[in-house]
Structure 1
Amino acid sequence: MDYLKYGIEVVVKKSEKRKFKLIDYKNIDKNTFFYLCEAEFKGNPKNSRPDITLFINGIPVVIIEAKATLKIDSHLEGISQIRRYEKFSPDLFRFVQFAISYGEEQLYTPTMPNWYKENIHLPAYYWRIRQKINGKKVVKDDIFYILNPSILLEIIRYFIFYRKDEYSKTKTLSKIIARYNQYFATKKAMKRIDEYLSGDSKNKGLIWHWQGSGKTYTMFFIANYFLDKYFSENPVIFFVVDRVDLERQSKEFYEAIQEKKFKTILKRIDSINKLYEVIKSIKMSELSNKVIVRGIYTTTIQKFQYERSKKEKDNNKEKDKDDEDLDLSKPIEEIIKKIEDKLKKEEKEGKIKGLKDLLIILAFIYLKHLKEKNPEEYKKHIENLKKLKDKDKKEEYLINLGNIKRKHILILIDEAHRTQYGILGGMRKITFPNAITFGFTGTPVFKNEKNTFTEFSYPEKGEFYLDVYFIGDSIKDKFTLPLTYQIVKEGDIKSEGIQITLDEEDIKEFIDEWIKRGEDINLFDRKKLPKYINKSKTILLNPKRIDKVAKYIVDRIEEDTENFKFKAMVVAVNRLGCVRFKKALDKYLKEKFGDEAEKWAEVVMTYHHNEEEKEIIEYMKKLKKERNSNDFNEINQIIREEFLNSENPKILIVTDMLLTGFDAPRLKVMYLDKPLYGHRLLQAIARTNRPYPDKEFGLIVDSVGLFKVLTETMALYNMLAEEEIREDFKNNLISSIDEIFQEFKLKLEMVKESLKNLKINDEDLSIDVNTLKTLTKNKDFNNNELKEKLDLIAFYAEDGKNARILKLIDDLKAVIKLYKALGSYPQKIFYIEDIELLSFIYAYLIKKLKPKKKSNRKFWEELISFIHNKMLVDDLTVIEEINLNPDDLDKILKENIGKREIKRAVANYYFILKNSILDKQHDPIYKEILERLERLRRDWIMKRIDDKIYLNAIKNLMELKNNYDKKIKGKSSIERIKESISTYIGENILKDQDIKLNLENTEKLITKMQNLNKLSKLQRKKFKKELSCALLEDLLKELKGKIKDEDAKKVAELSDNLVSEFILKEIWGENYENQ
């Protein structure tokens, strides 16, 4: 990759090196772009032939796999094919940087060599572009946009990287490529940078991207692009966060990205003194070209202190003397001299009290520089200072002299809605007034003095953000999930007179006081809490209320989490609420699920050494004993990791911690029992929106009554956005559980209607679900007609080309998922019979079309759990338990049976034969039978053959299969291998001659190495090569004189394939490569 980006360095003489570029990124027209269809690349066990390969200057850089666009999930087949190419031809992917799968959907994915043939999981994305049509924004798919020569070069240069996390246990190498939202945000940021450095006044921008959209990578893409483009200008880049743990994590994150130029100068500023050193170095670089300060730094906003903390100042015994040194009432020349004498000592001992003093000191250093280099300018500044009698004015003047004037400084601020609005943010801007600053957030704030839009954008000029990535876009792109919101109303919980939810007026006043006093209500003395905060906390902390809410949670949690496939979070009003919820949940979980459930709920919160609350003190004692540790920070970290990576805990109880920045994809349900407001409410509920297998959306269960607050919060955001964004927030942020229920009903009726009117090739395959619901209640119900139709539906859908059937199957799955996702919604019980029948239809079809699904126990358990009719369940379990008997087919062919029965036989015997050998298709004989079977099915559908010819051919294949079964029955694996190869060689190489191969060398080697567990990956690779040689030697020896020279070449090619696709799978299992 580095060769493609930066060229190859070659030693031309002993002391001379020259770099030869493979691609000219500046002069696009000097490159040669071309493509080849089905270009063949050397591989093992076989060569790779991508459908299309794109070349730049003769170097393959992109491959494209094209699949049937009407076939459901065909794009996923393309991705699988690409992953196989990476295994077969790893050297090709030293150059190919990404691939496109063009099928039902169009995806692009990064690629990398897979020399060890491991299962590498790389993401695949949609590429979408935004356009304005008739003044309205339109987003549409356009995968070919990235193949435009200039765009392609840019993506290769700036948007594809390897990543190796040295801090993880596995240290796995992976590859990243920008998503379209990251690319366009980066381009807009670079346009703002270029224009500013060319004279424009705008030097900031807001990147407003919803939670889970990859903001951290976007920050890297912008930083790296800026570094490379302006490298000769010695750029400086700061990644600014607001927590020390994030400072460390962000450095580790960026360090993992394998970009040498970037990594070499990446450092962490982990102290205030280090920040001061960097700032001083930058100032020195402004004064001398000999000082080069090019660098990338991670730091916290908290280090931009106006003054040191009181504790630090108290530790400085020479505080008064320091103040005297900066006494601006003294002559300027005298101050400069004293500063010069003491600066080194002060820096070494860390006595500079804050950024203000540092900038003043830097001002004096600058004045000294002017005195030597530009006396006239120096004299002008001294005269100006002398005119200023007010000390504050003098300080302001000096700070503006001492601050950093350079423009090639980039500041990237994460979670820009936090901690950027007070003195810390002010000091950052004073220190770097000409820097380029971009803020990143998913939830901007805009209240009183805290306004993300005015801080990072130009709302007065009509610009509220530089780039916005809508919630709806994020959901559509499957980076995040929609949220459903359910309000617990008074009466839903058996409260026995205890108030459960807060009154609307209480919530309103609570929030007003919260805004007025500051959001961290835990800082208030309990006795001095404002009226409405105190009242609300009293209601929410009532132990009897918490007990009732906890029981309500336990009663519904199994359904809400879909039998604990997903996890849950309880948000309590404060730390005492956390402890009380823990006690109540433990009690009811144990009652319902047994003793083991005591480990299911855990608390993560802040603990104080001087704790005064008795219940919290008692809990802390218990926790220390259980966890055998006195370090509560460590305990919190362990519980957090357990929640992310283990089965238990299943429930986290929190109040402030983990409500922001906590990424737990398995978290689906949040039981919200705390009044939250504005961006904090959005940040909290977004914890449940991360994608996870089978997770349709996040669920918020509100026992406080915040829905109106949430909608008002949305309204506030909407006022500052365009019409389309207002609609996006309204339509895509959340859907009430009632709206999801309405969506389910509409989808259900659509599916039922599709089934009722189903016809294929003029054949009536209609299924009336409403009629069936009545019939299935009858004890004498016979479902043969239903199964006949389903057999034929599956038969027509087998090749993935009947769009109508495939859409129907997809819709069946969608409606079942919606039903599951309704959780404990009471009205769902009225649709049990509909879902029972649709689940049977879906399961029956999937069982026919994808028989390997039977190995996924959870898949079938979940599906069958919806089906209560014993006959239907039995039909699913015995669907394949039919013997292959050619005599039965003889009877069908000889008897005068009806047309429908004939057609069912056509479908049925196809699936019976196919499914009987599907798991054995690595065997070349069975594989050949499957290929012939599929050709028969296609010929019948295309009406090239009639029913009798088809069934006669099926009968012949069944006999072939049965005869081969008898040959290998009871034989050892090595004997089966010899029998299979003998049969295959006899039929295909010797043209139907019988032969009995001995394969002496092959047998010896297999016997020696049958135990896979004793072999390392390197040993397996070596053994595979040895086995191919042994088999080839045996075959050529035993077939000597029986085959022609051209057949010998075929045997050589065949031996490698037989080893990889048959012998190794036979002795080690189908998935031996993944073991």
Structure 2
Amino acid sequence: MVPDSSRVDRGDVSLLINGLPIIHIELKKESAKDGFMQAYYQIQRYAEDGFFKGIYATTQIMVISNKVDTRYFARPSEDTAEAYARMKKFLFNWRTEDNQTVSDLFDFTRTVLRIPDAHELISQYTILVDDQKNQKFLMVLRPYQIHAIRKIRQKAAQHEGGFIWHATGSGKTITSFVATKLLAQNAIGVDRTVMVVDRTDLDAQTQDEFTKFASEYHTGQTTGNSVANTLIVGIKNQKQLARNLLSSKNNNTILVTTIQKLSAAMRSAQQESEEKGSNQFEKLRQEHIVFIVDEAHRAVSDEEMKRIKKILPNSTWFGLTGTPIFEQNKKQENGTFARTTSQQYGPLLHSYTTKNAMDDGAVLGFQVEYHSLISEEDQEGIVTQLNKGKLPDDVLQQEKLLPTELYEKDEHIRTMLQKIFNRRSVVKKFKVKNGFPTMSAILTTHSIAQAKHIYRILKEMKDNGTLLNGRQFDARHQLIDKDFPRVAITFSTNPDQLEKNEQDDELVEIMKEYAKQFDVSPYQDEKLYNQNINKRLARKEKQYQSEGQWLDFVIVVDRLLTGFDSPTIQTLYVDRELNYQKLLQAFSRTNRIYTGKDSGLIVSFRKPFTMKENVQNTFRLFSNENQNFDQLIPREYEEVKKEFIECSTLYKQSEADLSDNPNDLKTMIAQVSAYQKLEKSYKALRSYDQYEEDFEAFSEVVEQLPQYQGKTENVKTKIKEMIEDEEHPEEDFEKFLQEIAFSSQLNATHKDVVDSFYINQLLKAIQLNEAGAVEKFEKEIQQKDPQIQKMYHTLKDQLVNTTEEIDVAQLKETSIQNEIQRQLQKEAEEFGLSFDFLQSAMNEYQGDKKTIPYLTHLLDSMTLSKEEFEAKTGEKYRRRTKVLEERLQQNFEQLQKWKEEL
């Protein structure tokens, strides 16, 4: 029974372990309105009603399914809408060891929920994370992580090594940590476990991540520099690491370190053992020590590994990497040192490729534009001159002869920057909204000298007003940010260089310019400068999400192209040749999931035919030989353009078919499927710069997309009604139905948001009595909220009926602010709330988090008596917190629409 309600919450299935409900399963029909998500929303409602309290507080894993599609996830940290909104990104489908998706409910149950697999999922593959900010939450591993860990444990018991190939961004660090933890605590035949990480990662961010993962495990050891972490030792102090290696008491303690500190600790351990006259070091040498290397090639070279193996001959090594080295991309090593991943670590144990990650929706796909800034005629002339008067027929051979110096000239750099900062391109590549960029970009080039050269020319062009160029392509989306682009340059320095005898004068000047850009004190330390670049580019901290505090454009050589994670990076500009692991690692900076982002955008400015071949070779290599790599290769504009035309024809045919058979279910499903393919194709098409050249040819279809969407939504509603009312005996019906997406979360919809800045321009045009201005204005506001439309009509009438000079932007802002104040005042008076706290709560409210700031203060300020509250709301007084929270969420969501018009 739900407290203070006549409603009963009845869950579908609970699985008990030792008599306690641990796994909750919620089921829906295949035809459910939002698919498996309907089960998710029902669990969320149960949680908010208090279902998972008392005996059900022990629930840890949730399973949701509509029979044909099944997901599992860890129970959110709180029973609130905010916590469940965050969890939507972590609904996992199951994959077999060979990466076959298990969607069917009964197959999932036989595979995942059987004994002992269900027990292991809870006890071994679910971890408690502590962010050290009084926030703890459960994290359950994804299936590919579980398969990899099982393989590592199996091979470690057999004293055999190997490597794990998991795509960039798939959580290799967590996989490494959990594998290390389980080996350290439970493995038979393993004396010690050491996790080896790249020194840069350890210095920058990984230590904080380990502290989160490890906080709940206690083995009697501590680093002495973390709040609750007693599992990880030896991160900073090589002598402490040496003592722990020599102590027999610490063989179940996880050690996380770098190969450099490990080598030093070995020397220290041997020296300490010899000084004490003990045989501890000899005992250590005979132990079976398992090393798990996060980022297999960045963290440990084969030379370093062989050095440690000589000291520890019984050691076993496992490497994790997103970009393995094969024969095709092997390293150029001297002597007998390994050139490939398998030569260094052993056989491939488990793979989860970029294609698998794309299929799961864990990362986005890529779109690549290949540009040549040298005309065909000029290229042929240069090549002929350099090749003793001969011009190779093969364009790849021509490009091979082009010298690097050609791209270091001012002319090349200026042309490239003008192409990047063409206003029409900026709107798309930086996702301009309400006049400001919402995404960032990285430019990578071949050398530090070239990076500095580009930076200097960019600054010069920005200062003299020639950087931003070209006309606005779409009047509804314009760049009005006067400080755009906010630019930085960063490059890697030698990590072994502890002190610089001579400071780079040019870098000092760059750091001063950077600080001036954000009105902060100049940086004297290069490390702090680079760390601040990381934070402003990532935009993860609230202070760097404020207008003007983020970075728009960063110039790099190799730094930030591996391991750096920022979902707001949408575009990578490439002014160099890339191939194989470097290419995939660099591209992968752009394909993290983020709201409003459809794909990672890549723009190449050198040797287009060479780069196209490199991209194809890279994705062929890293797609795995058993998969169709063609699906993974980024498509060129002409291919996407052809697909859009075909989808447009297909949709028009589907409408004609539906007109002939309006009540035929399969025809209706075909119409919905055709629209969704058309919409997806359009989203891809419009991100290319070439699209603007063909806009007129596509305008007829593009302008009708909103109408197409409206028709499609009506058809979807009819499909749902027919499925719920009738039985369909066709054997292939379930598979046929899967062609379309019912869930609004999954379905592509056409929504072209009109900038506030553009509305201001239209109002100004109405004031100036420009021809067609009123008609344009009416068309643009017709999809807005009815109350907002009403306000705009009032403004329009006011401008039409006056000859006075009026500040249009100020008039609109005053109207909107007055409406917001009016609604807040009404709410405050109705419930006797503090107007100041209510206004502050509304100002700080974030729609994606769904929590009400200052809720406690608002409740304390409420002057309604118990009787007045119950009479006004029809709810019990003891539910006032929940009632007020829900009411304010609804009202604030409405007010957010008004704020978006400012």
Q: TM-score scaled by structure 2?
A: 0.69
Stretches of structure 1 lacking an aligned partner (at least 5 in a row) = 1-39, 286-290, 309-353, 371-398, 506-531, 765-795, 884-914, 917-971, 978-1002, 1036-1050
CA displacement 1:66-106 (0-9 Å, x = unmatched): 33423564333332332232222142663111212223743
For residue 735 of structure 1, give the secondary structure of its aligned residue in structure 2: coil
- Match of 2:525? 631
Which amino acid in structure 2 is aligned with residue 687 of structure 1? Answer: R
| Equivalent of 2:408 in 541, 547, 551 | 541
- Match of 1:560? 429
- Indicate yes or no: 2:624 matched with 1:758: no
- Match of 2:536? 642
Structure 1 residue 440: Cα displacement: 0.6
- Indicate yes or no: 2:753 matched with 1:860: yes
- Indicate yes or no: 2:48 matched with 1:223: no
CA displacement 1:919-959 (0-9 Å, x = unmatched): xxxxxxxxxxxxxxxxxxxxxxxxxxxxxxxxxxxxxxxxx
Q: 1:560 to 1:190 in 2, by over 3 A?
A: same
Q: 1:1068 to 1:189 in 2, by over 3 A?
A: closer
Q: 1:492 to 1:820 in 2, by over 3 A?
A: farther
Structure 1 residue 240: Cα displacement: 0.9
Which amino acid in structure 1 is aligned with residue 584 of structure 2? Answer: L
**CA–CA distance in 1 between the matches of 2:410 and 2:826?**
70
Which amino acid in structure 2 is aligned with residue 97 of structure 1? Answer: Q
Task: Trace 1:318-397 onto structure 2 (pairs within 5 A).
Answer: 355=266, 359=270, 369=279
Task: Trace 1:1056-1071 onto structure 2 (pairs within 5 A).
Answer: 1069-1070=890-891
- Indicate yes or no: 2:22 matched with 1:66: no
**CA–CA distance in 2 between the matches of 1:118 and 1:715?**
43
Could you tell me whether the CA contact under 8 Å between 1:438 and 1:456 is conserved in 2?
A: no
**CA–CA distance in 2 between the matches of 1:253 and 1:1074?**
38
- Indicate yes or no: 2:103 matched with 1:141: yes
**CA–CA distance in 1 between the matches of 2:784 and 2:490?**
50
| Equivalent of 1:420 in 300, 309, 312 | 300
Task: Trace 1:129-208 onto structure 2 (pairs within 5 A).
Answer: 129-130=95-96, 138-142=100-104, 143-144=108-109, 145-166=111-132, 172-194=135-157, 196=158, 201-202=159-160, 204-208=161-165
Q: 1:1027 to 1:62 in 2, by over 3 A?
A: farther
- Indicate yes or no: 2:490 matched with 1:604: yes
Q: 1:839 to 1:60 in 2, by over 3 A?
A: same
Task: Trace 1:708-727 onto structure 2 (pairs within 5 A).
Answer: 708=610, 711=613, 715=617, 723-725=625-627, 727=628
- Match of 1:683? 585
**CA–CA distance in 1 between the matches of 2:778 and 2:622?**
59
**CA–CA distance in 2 between the matches of 1:45 and 1:456?**
65
- Indicate yes or no: 2:90 matched with 1:124: yes
For residue 610 of structure 2, give the secondary structure of its aligned residue in structure 1: helix
Structure 1 residue 827: Cα displacement: 5.8
Structure 1 residue 405: Cα displacement: 1.7
Structure 1 residue 428: Cα displacement: 2.5
CA displacement 1:143-186 (0-9 Å, x = unmatched): 433222322111110112232212xxx55433311111111112
Instruction: Write 1 or 2 for the structure with the bigger share of helix.
Output: 1
**CA–CA distance in 2 between the matches of 1:226 and 1:808?**
51
CA displacement 1:255-305 (0-9 Å, x = unmatched): 212532474221243243333333333xxx3xxxxx454311221112244
Could you tell me whether the CA contact under 8 Å between 1:843 and 1:876 is conserved in 2?
A: no
- Match of 1:254? 210
CA displacement 1:993-1035 (0-9 Å, x = unmatched): xxxxxxxxxx9994367764699444667899x9795369869
Q: 1:156 to 1:845 in 2, by over 3 A?
A: same
Could you tell me whether the CA contact under 8 Å between 1:70 and 1:802 is conserved in 2?
A: no
Q: Which has the larger radius of gyration?
A: 1
Could you tell me whether the CA contact under 8 Å between 2:571 and 2:603 is conserved in 1?
A: yes
Could you tell me whether the CA contact under 8 Å between 2:64 and 2:70 is conserved in 1?
A: yes
Which amino acid in structure 2 is aligned with residue 86 of structure 1? Answer: A
- Match of 2:256? 298
**CA–CA distance in 2 between the matches of 1:624 and 1:881?**
42
Stretches of structure 2 lacking an aligned partner (at least 5 in a row) = 220-228, 389-398, 469-478, 495-499, 540-544, 718-741, 759-771, 791-821, 842-852, 897-902
**CA–CA distance in 2 between the matches of 1:721 and 1:599?**
36
Could you tell me whether the CA contact under 8 Å between 2:654 and 2:674 is conserved in 1?
A: yes
- Match of 1:575? 448
Q: 1:599 to 1:875 in 2, by over 3 A?
A: closer
- Indicate yes or no: 2:353 matched with 1:470: yes
Higher RCO, 1 vs 2 (CA within 8 Å, ≥6 residues apart): 2
Could you tell me whether the CA contact under 8 Å between 1:561 and 1:568 is conserved in 2?
A: yes
Q: TM-score scaled by structure 1?
A: 0.59
The percentage of counterpart residues that share the same residue type is 20
Could you tell me whether the CA contact under 8 Å between 2:181 and 2:254 is conserved in 1?
A: no
CA displacement 1:322-347 (0-9 Å, x = unmatched): xxxxxxxxxxxxxxxxxxxxxxxxxx
CA displacement 1:855-885 (0-9 Å, x = unmatched): x9985328999xx9997984674479999xx
- Match of 1:948? none
Which amino acid in structure 2 is aligned with residue 439 of structure 1? Answer: G
Which amino acid in structure 2 is aligned with residue 236 of structure 1? Answer: R
Q: RMSD across aligned C-alpha pairs, in angstroms? A: 5.1
**Count of residues in Structure 1 that have an aligned counterpart in Structure 2:** 737
For residue 649 of structure 1, give the secondary structure of its aligned residue in structure 2: coil
- Match of 2:417? 550
Could you tell me whether the CA contact under 8 Å between 1:131 and 1:139 is conserved in 2?
A: no
- Match of 1:969? none
Which amino acid in structure 1 is aligned with residue 53 of structure 2? Answer: D
Which amino acid in structure 1 is aligned with residue 429 of structure 2? Answer: D
| Equivalent of 2:15 in 51, 54, 76 | 54
**The 10-residue stretch of structure 1 (589-598 or 241-250) with the greater mean CA deviation from structure 2:** 589-598
**CA–CA distance in 2 between the matches of 1:846 and 1:566?**
30
Q: 1:471 to 1:43 in 2, by over 3 A?
A: farther
Structure 1 residue 658: Cα displacement: 0.7
- Match of 2:391? none
CA displacement 1:189-235 (0-9 Å, x = unmatched): 222233x1xxxx52x121101111111111122123223423x9785
- Match of 2:243? 277
Task: Trace 1:499-514 onto structure 2 (pairs within 5 A).
Answer: none
Could you tell me whether the CA contact under 8 Å between 1:560 and 1:824 is conserved in 2?
A: no
Could you tell me whether the CA contact under 8 Å between 1:1065 and 1:1072 is conserved in 2?
A: no
Could you tell me whether the CA contact under 8 Å between 1:579 and 1:619 is conserved in 2?
A: no
- Indicate yes or no: 2:597 matched with 1:695: yes
| Equivalent of 2:37 in 52, 76, 93 | 76
**CA–CA distance in 2 between the matches of 1:1074 and 1:364?**
74
For residue 754 of structure 1, give the secondary structure of its aligned residue in structure 2: helix
Could you tell me whether the CA contact under 8 Å between 1:206 and 1:440 is conserved in 2?
A: yes
For residue 443 of structure 2, give the secondary structure of its aligned residue in structure 1: strand
- Indicate yes or no: 2:532 matched with 1:663: no
Q: 1:539 to 1:619 in 2, by over 3 A?
A: farther
Could you tell me whether the CA contact under 8 Å between 2:196 and 2:294 is conserved in 1?
A: yes
**CA–CA distance in 1 between the matches of 2:14 and 2:444?**
53
**CA–CA distance in 2 between the matches of 1:254 and 1:713?**
35
For residue 90 of structure 2, give the secondary structure of its aligned residue in structure 1: coil
